[in-house]
Structures are given as structure tokens and as C-alpha cells.
Chains A and B, each alone.
Chain A
């Protein structure tokens, strides 16, 4: 059989040849578009006399950031301002995730309540929050804080030493020093020790069947190092408590209205998503599992811990990862109400330096990097709890 003569000795009727050709065409197309755009950019930048490069990062920023977890002055560099923005983003995202997880789990379980009235109420909560745009929720909570809440003089007292007013939330603060850090570190180390010891005990029980009471020693391991460090260092523990004064609250830490509004908006909208995730996770466990565990003689708490939760977590974790990622990405809406997160700092930088590409590229990189870190961590956790299959 004769093979048809083809140009360049290639047989275009062959699927593999065509596949390679398509790929080359595709890559070449993308590369050409990229080169074209890059050419335009360098031409435009040169024509408009816009500086390029990241050297602006080391110049003086000169703008005020209303709140910052680290010490920041307007005379610091743009790089430090950016760092403050990143820390602010991380702080509000983590806090909102924690609050959303707690509320969402409770609401999700509440939606499965046998009491129809309570279940309906929880459904109403979820539906109301899911059907309103987050940005609107942020504006609304900011408006409520700034215009509806009383002024500082008549601040609402939510808890002892927690005051809410139109200039934000005032909470107690500890005068933190190096001793406290050391004690916190020893507590973390104690938890790690206890965790390792518990694993060792479980391992031994599986190997040899020898079981022993574990809670006393684990308790000692968790708290022992911390208490010991406390006794050695004897740090002075001075709480700074907010006290209502004549014109303002004295003492404590003041959280700005922007921060509180962003936290409330993010946490509420995420809690509705978390509630749905938790509910579907629990529903995915068949009734037989609980019944079989009960038939084996496990008590309700152990049924939850040993049978239901490990299986429900498998279903819950992947969507929970994207819920946390969404909180993190949605925190970028902070710019709408003026909370100095990474986007807002970049925006100010952009306006001051006139450089558009570098700041936007930087904060996109920050989001991308943190997104990938979070999803890697959650994937690692997911493989740990995933069903082991052959």
C-alpha cells in the first residue's frame, strides 16, 4: 500500500501528527499574543514616561494607614506598607473564617433539627444571607455601625469590658511582651508533645493491645511546660481594660468600624455557606452507620467522634477549602468600605507612583501565593482523612 505524498513528509491523516501540530499552533498563538501585548506595553510606557520596575518599593510611602498590626509610620517604605496590607488581609480573613466556622456549624446542625420551627428559622438565616450580595452586606453593616450605633459616650456594653459604638469595638488588651511569647510557645510545644504521645499510645494499642489511661499524662504534657515557664518567668500580667470616659473610651484595644463591618459581613456571608456544607456532610452519612455503631455498644459521643465525624469530614473538607479561599478572596472588598487591606494599599500606591502594572501584579501574586498555600494545606489534610483505596 502506498502512503500518500504529503508536504514535509508529514502524514496529516495521522492523529498523533495532527495533535502535535495543534499543540504547536496553540502555543505559538499564545506566545504571539503575549509578545504583541508586551510590545504594546513597553511602547506605551515609554511614550507616557511611566517608570517601570520595583524600585518604588524602597521609596518613602508617605501615606497613613489607619490600623496596622505592626509598627508603621508614613515615613516607612512602600514595601512595609504593602506588608501591613498583607497582614491586615490575613488577620481579617482568619478571624472571619473562625467566626464563620463556629456560626455555620451550629446553623448547619440546626437546619437538621427535629423541631420544625427552629429548622425553618435556620433556613431563613441561610437563604437571606446567600441571596444578598456580599458588597451590599458590607455597606449595610458599615452604615449600621457608623450611623445607627450610639456615639462613644453612650457606647453599648456587649460583655463586661467590651464596648460597641459608632467608632468601633473596644476590647480588653494585654500588655504583651517577650515573656508571654515564650509561654505561648511552650504551650504549643506541650500540645505537640501530647499529640505525639497520644499517637504513640494508639500505635502501641494496635500493635500489642496494651491500653492504659491516657488523659492524666496528656493533661500534664499539654499544660506542664506552660505552667513551668509561667512559674519561672513570672510575667507581669496587666490587662488594659476599656473604661467609658467622658468623651472617649480609655484603655483597651480599639477595632475600627471598617474592621468590624468587614469582619461581620465576611463572617455572616461565609457562615451561610459553611452551614450548607456541614448540613450536606452530615446528611451524606447513612443512618445505618449510626445504628450499627450504637448496636456495637458505643455511646453517642463516641459514635459522633469515631464513626460519624471521620466520614462526614471526607465530604466536608473539599468544599470547606473553597469556602475558606472565598473568605480570603472576598476580603479584597475591604477597599469599598476603606479597610486598609492589600488591595487598598496597592491602590494608594498605584495612585501615588503612577505605576499601574507592578502594584496590581504584586497583589495578584500575593493572593495567588496564599490561595495556593491554603489549598495545598487543605489538600494535605484531605489526603489524610480520605478513604484509603487500593
Chain B
């Protein structure tokens, strides 16, 4: 009975080495590794030097376009002079506190919507209410606020609005499409498959084109839809098809027994979906949905092509200003890239947080 005598001691714990030699090992463990490390250090140093040069050492901090033209570095006065225009576009200058307030309302609502502890019916009502207030603030025309037509809207509030309103409207539509695609009724399934595949097979630009050029022809004469609304409809339809595919993944991942057990309990179709299937399926697909949403925030930039002034377009318009043209050629784009980078990074961090929170632990 030797086997019984084997003592089962726990495996020795992995202890990261605290000595300097141990810490350097991953970087200089072998000749090849040392070369890679040195190469990386060189690349980083080179990039760092150029960035510092451009941003600070060679940069112009105060002055006119003429001073900027002389120096090779970044032109900060351009950002200072054009910041309000880049953020709010052609919105009347005196009234720009309204879009600013809207931006803060947006951030507040998004922060609330991103807190799992607050999720519930109240939050949905609150978000709808906040959207209504934002819309009223932007449009004006009552209660002492002057009327600002949508053609004057622009900048960051417009980008956020297109993205958030688009996703809020597209989400229920996408879930319905996913349910239709998983349905047992062939005609309904075929219709939703055709819609989803058609939309996913063509680029967003073509749908925006369709909305801005063809939609007026499809409506009865006399009915004129605002350009902003047309682009919004296009984004909603486009997003719905992609959301439907993500949600379908969640529906497929759910064991069939769940729906069968629910109908055995006497629940009808909608009850089964609302109470049993969707809560579980949607929980599975939260991380891919968030990364889809990051993509859509970036995709709202395409509305510039059908003539809406989103954030990227106001930045470009600022760079085309005759006073600054040819002087600030990169500053605007770098600024826009940083803004998009920050928002996408926040969403990415949030997605990782959700992934940790919803991980069903088996390991």
C-alpha cells in the first residue's frame, strides 16, 4: 500500500522574484530578448522625443496665426481660438450654454445608465425624460429660449445625440429582429433574415445616401423630413441589424430547455421571452454589445458625408477657416483623435468591468 503513503503537499506557490536580477529577466533573459528590449526602448525614445518636441518644445502657446506659421511645433492658439466652434459648430454663439448643458446632461445620464445598481424601469423612464429635456434645450422655441433649427446643430452634442438616440431606438428593434430570426414561423424568419443580411451586406455610407437622397422620393409629396432625422433613421436601421446578430448569438447560446421548461409551466411566447429567455440571453451578450456601441460612436463620423456637422466635421471646418488655413494642418485632427480616444477608452474599460462582473464563475 505504498500509494497511500504518498503525502499530498500543496504545490509550491509561484513567487515572483523580488531581486533586481529576477525583475530584469523577462527583458534581458536571452540575447534575442535583449535585442528586442533595446529596439523597443529606441523606438519609444524616438517617438517620445518627437512628441515632446511637437507638443511643447517647438510649440507656440500664445500668438497669432503668423507666429504659428514660423514655428514647426503644435499651434495651441488655434485650439484656444477654435475650441468653442469645434465643440458646438454653428450653434448661435450667445446660446452655446444650451449645448454645453446638454453635454453635461448626456454625461450624467450615461453615467447613470452605466451603473448596474441603478438598472431598472425607473432608469429607462429617467433616460427618456433626459432625452426629451435635451431635445427641448437644443431646439428651443418656447419658454424664452430662441428657436435654433437643426441645421445649426453641430459638434460634440450632435455626435453624442446621433449615437445615443440611435442606439436607444435600435436596441428594441434589434432584439425584435433577433427574436424574429429565431422564430419558428418561416415567413417571419425569412423577412428578418433578408433585412438583416441586406443591411449588413452594404456599407453604412450607402444607407446614409439612401436616407438623404432616396428617402424624399419615397415619401408622399409635401412631407419633408429633416436632414438630421433622416441620418438618424439610417443609423437606427443599420445599428438594429448588427444588434440583432449579436443578440442572436446570445439566444443560440441559451440551452433549449429554458424555453421548453417555460412553456411547460404554461407561459405563452411573449412571457417566455420576456421573463426567461431574454434576461439570460442579453446578459451573455453585454460585452460584445458594448464593443459594438464603441464602433457605432466612431461610425457616427460618417454623417459628415451627407452634410451633417458632427464633431469631426466641425473640427475640419475650423481647420478650413481662412485665418488658419494651411497653418494648423494636424492640430485639429490630433485633438479630435484624442477626444475619440478618450471616450472609446472609457467605454472599453467599462466593457472589461462588465465582463468581470457578469462572469459566471466555473473556474
Chain A contacts to B: CB under 8 angstroms: 19, 22-24, 26-27, 30, 37, 40-41, 43-45, 47, 113-118, 121, 127-128, 130-136, 139-140, 143-144, 147-148, 329-330, 332-333, 335-336, 343, 347, 350, 356-357, 360, 363-364, 367-368, 371-372
Chain A nearest CB from B327 CB (Å) reads 10
Task: Give the residue of A24, A27, A45, A143 whose beta carbon is less than 8 angstroms from that of B191.
Answer: A27
Known: A40-B221, A136-B340, A330-B203. 4 other contacts (CB 8 A): A24-B187, A121-B43, A132-B337, A357-B214
Q: Are B33 and A139 in contact (CB under 8 A)?
A: no
Residues of A contacting B329 with CB < 8 Å? 143, 147-148
Q: In the complex, A55→B191 CA distance in Å?
A: 31
Task: Give the residue of A114, A143, A336, A357 whose beta carbon is less than 8 angstroms from that of B26.
Answer: A114
Q: In the complex, A115→B28 CA distance in Å?
A: 9
Residues of B contacting A128 with CB < 8 Å? 341
Q: In the complex, A55→B66 CA distance in Å?
A: 55
Q: Are A23 and B348 in contact (CB under 8 A)?
A: no
Residues of A contacting B294 with CB < 8 Å? 131
Per DSSP, chain B at the interface is: helix
Residues of B contacting A350 with CB < 8 Å? 213
Q: In the complex, A131→B295 CA distance in Å?
A: 8
List, sorted by A's number, 15 A–B pairs whose CB atoms are closer than 8 Å. Answer: A19-B185, A22-B185, A37-B218, A40-B219, A44-B218, A115-B27, A133-B298, A135-B312, A139-B312, A143-B333, A332-B203, A335-B205, A364-B202, A368-B198, A368-B201
- Minimal Cβ-Cβ distance residue in B for A356: B213
Q: Are B201 and A367 in contact (CB under 8 A)?
A: yes
Q: Are B312 and A367 in contact (CB under 8 A)?
A: no
Task: Give the residue of B184, B198, B213, B301 whose beta carbon is less than 8 angstroms from that of A136.
Answer: B301
Q: Are B344 and A130 in contact (CB under 8 A)?
A: yes
Interface residues of B in 311-350 (CB under 8 A from A): 312, 316, 326, 329-330, 333-334, 336-337, 340-341, 344-345, 348
Q: In the complex, A84→B219 CA distance in Å?
A: 33
Chain A nearest CB from B100 CB (Å) reads 23
Chain A nearest CB from B53 CB (Å) reads 14
Give how many B residues have a beta carbon under 8 Å from the other chain's beta carbons.
Answer: 55
Q: Are B302 and A135 in contact (CB under 8 A)?
A: yes
Task: Give the residue of B186, B205, B334, B340 whose beta carbon is less than 8 angstroms from that of A133.
Answer: B340
Instruction: State whether the Cβ of B40 lies closer than 8 Å to any Cβ in chain A.
Output: yes
Task: Give the residue of B214, B316, B341 whose beta carbon is less than 8 angstroms from that of A356.
Answer: B214
Residues of A contacting B184 with CB < 8 Å? 19
Instruction: State whether the Cβ of B44 lies closer than 8 Å to any Cβ in chain A.
Output: yes
Q: Are A117 and B341 in contact (CB under 8 A)?
A: no
Binary contact track B208-233/A, C-beta < 8 Å → 1, others 0: 01100110111111000000000000
Instruction: State whether the Cβ of B304 lies closer than 8 Å to any Cβ in chain A.
Output: yes
Q: In the complex, A364→B329 CA distance in Å?
A: 34
Instruction: State whether the Cβ of B305 lies closer than 8 Å to any Cβ in chain A.
Output: yes
Chain B nearest CB from A317 CB (Å) reads 17
Q: In the complex, A23→B81 CA distance in Å?
A: 60
Q: Are A40 and B305 in contact (CB under 8 A)?
A: no
Instruction: State whether the Cβ of B37 lies closer than 8 Å to any Cβ in chain A.
Output: yes
Most A Cβ at <10 Å: residue of B185, B204, B205, B348: B205
Instruction: State whether the Cβ of B355 lies closer than 8 Å to any Cβ in chain A.
Output: no
Q: Are A329 and B203 in contact (CB under 8 A)?
A: yes
Q: In the complex, A330→B299 CA distance in Å?
A: 10
Given A113-B36, A118-B37, CB of A148 within 8 Å of CB of B188: no
Residues of A contacting B345 with CB < 8 Å? 127, 131
Q: Are B336 and A45 in contact (CB under 8 A)?
A: no
Chain A nearest CB from B242 CB (Å) reads 11
Instruction: State whether the Cβ of B41 lies closer than 8 Å to any Cβ in chain A.
Output: yes
Q: In the complex, A126→B11 CA distance in Å?
A: 37
Instruction: State whether the Cβ of B271 lies closer than 8 Å to any Cβ in chain A.
Output: no
Task: Give the residue of B26, B209, B312, B330 whose beta carbon is less than 8 angstroms from that of A144.
Answer: B330
Q: Are B41 and A117 in contact (CB under 8 A)?
A: yes
Residues of B contacting A139 with CB < 8 Å? 312, 316, 333
Q: Are B301 and A117 in contact (CB under 8 A)?
A: no
Q: In the complex, A131→B347 CA distance in Å?
A: 10
Q: Are A140 and B337 in contact (CB under 8 A)?
A: yes
Q: Are A117 and B37 in contact (CB under 8 A)?
A: yes
- Minimal Cβ-Cβ distance residue in B for A116: B26
Instruction: State whether the Cβ of B151 lies closer than 8 Å to any Cβ in chain A.
Output: no
Q: In the complex, A135→B301 CA distance in Å?
A: 7
Q: Are A121 and B44 in contact (CB under 8 A)?
A: yes
Residues of B contacting A41 with CB < 8 Å? 217-218
Chain A nearest CB from B87 CB (Å) reads 16
Chain A nearest CB from B302 CB (Å) reads 6
